């Protein structure tokens, strides 16, 4: 049977992609260094999701 090491990452809440992407890449790199073959990132790890209580911009 093959073993697959999976990592679950917890990244900081960021408001821009310029902050979020490096945080995700750091988490992925660290998980890989520790032997993970698959990394699960937070569902809202990349900005663009509607935040509860904040209005949606009209287009």
Give the SS3 label for residue 33.
Answer: helix
CA-CA distance, 44 to 12, in Å (whole number)? 10
Residue 13 lies in a domain: yes
Give the SS3 label for residue 8.
Answer: strand
Residue 33 lies in a domain: yes
Task: Tell me the pLDDT tens digit for each residue of 14-59.
Answer: 888 899 999 999 999 999 999 999 999 998 888 876 666 767 666 6
Identify the domain containing residue 20 by its residue range: 6-40
- The pLDDT value recorded for residue 40 is 97
Torsions phi, psi for 24 (to 5 deg): -65, -45
Residue 54 lies in a domain: no
Residue 49 lies in a domain: no
- The pLDDT value recorded for residue 49 is 64
Residue 52 lies in a domain: no
CA-CA distance, 27 to 46, in Å (whole number)? 13
Number of domains in the chain: 1
pLDDT-based confidence at residue 13 (cuts at 50, 70, 90): confident
Q: In angstroms, how far is the first alpha carbon of the chain from the final one?
A: 52
Residue 34 lies in a domain: yes
- The pLDDT value recorded for residue 45 is 84
């Amino acid at each position: 049977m093959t073993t697959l090491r999976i990592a679950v990452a917890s990244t900081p809440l960021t408001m821009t992609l310029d902050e979020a992407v490096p945080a995700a890449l750091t988490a992925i790199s660290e998980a890989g260094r520790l032997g993970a073959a698959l990394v699960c990132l937070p569902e809202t790890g990349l900005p663009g999701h509607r935040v509860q209580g904040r209005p949606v911009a009209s287009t």
